[in-house]
Amino acid sequence: MFYGTGELLAGEAAEFGRRAQAAGNDELVRAVPAGQHSFIIGAGRVPEADEAIAEIGSWLRTTLGLVAREGHESA
């Protein structure tokens, strides 16, 4: 779960992440400094969004036991 520190509900997002982890979920929680609501729509234009997407993809591939397609990084 990624959330921006500039998000109005950043505190609630962080608490949700802590509770999910405490409940035993395999949860990845990252705060993006100065990230705004829906910062992820900056993909291709905002490096932090691209980095978040790459990390999410890496986590998903690992969690699901998938291998990256040839020609694509498996960050």
Write out pLDDT tens, residues 28-48: 789 999 888 889 999 999 999
CA dihedral 40, 54, 45, 31 (to 10 degrees): 50
Residue with tokens 């992820």: 40
Q: What are the boundaries of each domain within the chain?
A: 2-64
| Band of residue 67 on the pLDDT scale cut at 50, 70, 90 | confident
If phi > 0 it is left, if psi is from -120 to 50 it is alpha, else beta; for residue 43 that is beta
Side chain identity, residue 74: S
pTM > 0.85: no
21 alpha carbon, distance to own chain's centre: 15
The torsion angles phi and psi of 65, rounded to 5 degrees, stand at 70, 35
Beta-carbon contacts of residue 12 (< 8 Å; ≥ 6 apart): none
